Each structure stands twice: as structure tokens, then as C-alpha cells.
């Protein structure tokens, strides 16, 4: 059986029951969707962010119930001391840390010629340096515990194609995928690292990038699968990479873009491209 809609965890057993997993930026959007999928699989999601869930922050997927509240830690993931304190608190409470999902990130639209140097530095710090900071702190715990651990970095197709208007973000995501490969080699076999390279995702903030519902639908129509990804789609991919089913997968990128973008030249050409 095939489906074009995301499958909920339901009774699927990926071997994640009881696994303690930190999801950065897990209070809303993609992060909340990832945490909800993990909870449905029996894992223990721990989320962090600069703002606690509440006042609508925890919405994960359009027209879906709000996810159950998860353990939350206030933390700026760019601050190495704050991250170290958070990781220590998680381990003190749960006794271990089995997985990390570096999801926090993003960028507002800003043309490179107009944006300040400080703006670019902050974008690179959030999308590239912060995942390294979190990964290093997690590795210090995982390397010394039975079973090691797994880290999944949420990346973007912007790191693999031109990213006009978000050039620093695209460069950061390209760097994040290389960082994933490098750390996977350095930290094997105890700690596995992989990245999920995401295309457009529909969240409560989609209007900031694509406009109203018609804009979202128009963008979805350009994708072979006919829609944007949902946070649950990302969560399912992340859950697989964290699970024992992916025990031999490390240093890899899983592309989650619904088939990608139709090449622009096909629409520009005069030839009949209908076949």
C-alpha cells in the first residue's frame, strides 16, 4: 500500500520506547511535529528553546490536535554554557541521553547586499555553530554510556541549490551537512550522525514564506508529490534515523523534498514537455 500523506506512529515499533531524545526548537513548527512523532513511538522527548511552549507556540501541523506537553528547558543553543547546563540537567533527571535532534534554525529573507555583517554572523551561528555546540555536549554524554547515541541534524535543500534571499542560511546548511559527515567519522562507532535535508514544510509560519493558503497550494503544486511536507513527515524520517533500524547508517543525508523541484528550463522551453 502506498500513501501520499504522512503516516502516524500508531502501533509501529521502531525500538525507541523509553529513549530520551532532546529536540532543539521543539516548542512549535517542525520541532513540535518531531517531538509528537517521537512521543507516539514511546520515546521521551525533551524540548528546548528560548521561549516556552504556550500562547500558540506548540502548534505543529495544520488541523491537527495540539501535541501533549513535553519536558521543556529554556536554552539559547548558541550559548555553550547554557547548553552544557541543559544537557547536565537532562542526564541528572533521566540518567542518560539517547538522541538529539538539532532542529532549531531558520532565517528571515534578506538580500546579501542589504543585510549587515552581524545579521550573517547570527544566521551562521544559529544554523551551523549551534548544532556543533549541542552535538559536542551530547557526545560527551553519549560516548560514555552503554549503547552510545544518535544525533540527527535537520538540514535544508537550500544548502544544495542557490538560496537567494537566504544566502547565509543556505551556506550554513551546506556546512551542516559536511559537519554531519565529519563528526560521523570522528565519533563512530559509538555515536551516529545523520542529516535530514528538507524541502518546503507546511507549518503555522508558512505564510511568512509563501503567503496565504493559495500561495501554499501554488508552491505545493510545483513539487512532484503535490504538497509541502508536514512536520510529521520530518518526524517520521528523524525517528527512523534515531532508531535501531538505522544502526549501520551514519554520515548520511536523507533527502525529504517530495521529489524536488521541476527544472525551470522545462517550462521555458518551446518543445512539448508533456511526455
User: Grid coordinates in use for 15?
Assistant: 525500538
Dist. CA 67–CA 85, nearest whole Å:
26
Residue among 30, 67, 169, 202 flagged as catalytic: 169
Asked if 229 and 256 touch (Cβ cutoff 8 Å), the reply is yes
Dist. CA 164–CA 223, nearest whole Å:
19
Task: Name 87's Cβ contacts closer than 8 Å, sequence gap at least 6.
Answer: 22, 97, 137, 138, 140, 141
Burial 196-215 (b: 16+ CB within 10 A, else e): bbbbbbbbbebeebbeeeee
Max CA separation in the chain (angstroms): 65
Based on the residue annotation, tell me whether 210 is a catalytic residue of this protein. Answer: no
Dist. CA 248–CA 91, nearest whole Å:
25
Residue with cell 509501529: 12
Rg (CA), the chain: 19
Give the residue numbers annotated as catalytic, written as ranges: 169
Amino acid at each position: 500500500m502506498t500513501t501520499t500523506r504522512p503516516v502516524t506512529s500508531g502501533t509501529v515499533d521502531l525500538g525507541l520506547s523509553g529513549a530520551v531524545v532532546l529536540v532543539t526548537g521543539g516548542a512549535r513548527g517542525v520541532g513540535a511535529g518531531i517531538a509528537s512523532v517521537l512521543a507516539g513511538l514511546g520515546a521521551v522527548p525533551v524540548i528546548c528553546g528560548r521561549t516556552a511552549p504556550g500562547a500558540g507556540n506548540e502548534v505543529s501541523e495544520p488541523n491537527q490536535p495540539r501535541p501533549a506537553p513535553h519536558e521543556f528547558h529554556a536554552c539559547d543553543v548558541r550559548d555553550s554554557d547554557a547548553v552544557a547546563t541543559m544537557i547536565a540537567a537532562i542526564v541528572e533527571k533521566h540518567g542518560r541521553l539517547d538522541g538529539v535532534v538539532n532542529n532549531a534554525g531558520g532565517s528571515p529573507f534578506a538580500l546579501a547586499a542589504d543585510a549587515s555583517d552581524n545579521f550573517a554572523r547570527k544566521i551562521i551561528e544559529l544554523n551551523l555553530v549551534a548544532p556543533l555546540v549541542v552535538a559536542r555536549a551530547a557526545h560527551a554524554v553519549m560516548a560514555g554510556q552503554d549503547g552510545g547515541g544518535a544525533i540527527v541534524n535537520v538540514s535544508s535543500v537550500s544548502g544544495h541549490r542557490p538560496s537567494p534571499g537566504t544566502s547565509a542560511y543556505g551556506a550554513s546548511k551546506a556546512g551542516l551537512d559536511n559537519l554531519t559527515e565529519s563528526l560521523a567519522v570522528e565519533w563512530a562507532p559509538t555515536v551516529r550522525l545523520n542529516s535530514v535535508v528538507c524541502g518546503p514544510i507546511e507549518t503555522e509560519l508558512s505564510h511568512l514564506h509563501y503567503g496565504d493558503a493559495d500561495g501554499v497550494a501554488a508552491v505545493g503544486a510545483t513539487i512532484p508529490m503535490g504538497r509541502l511536507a508536514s512536520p510529521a513527515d520530518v518526524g517520521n524520517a528523524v525517528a527512523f534515523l534515531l532508531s535501531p533500524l538505522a544502526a549501520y547508517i551514519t554520515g548520511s543525508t536523507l533527502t525529504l523534498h517530495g521529489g524536488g523541484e521541476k527544472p525551470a528550463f522545462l517550462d521555458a522551453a518551446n518543445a512539448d514537455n508533456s511526455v
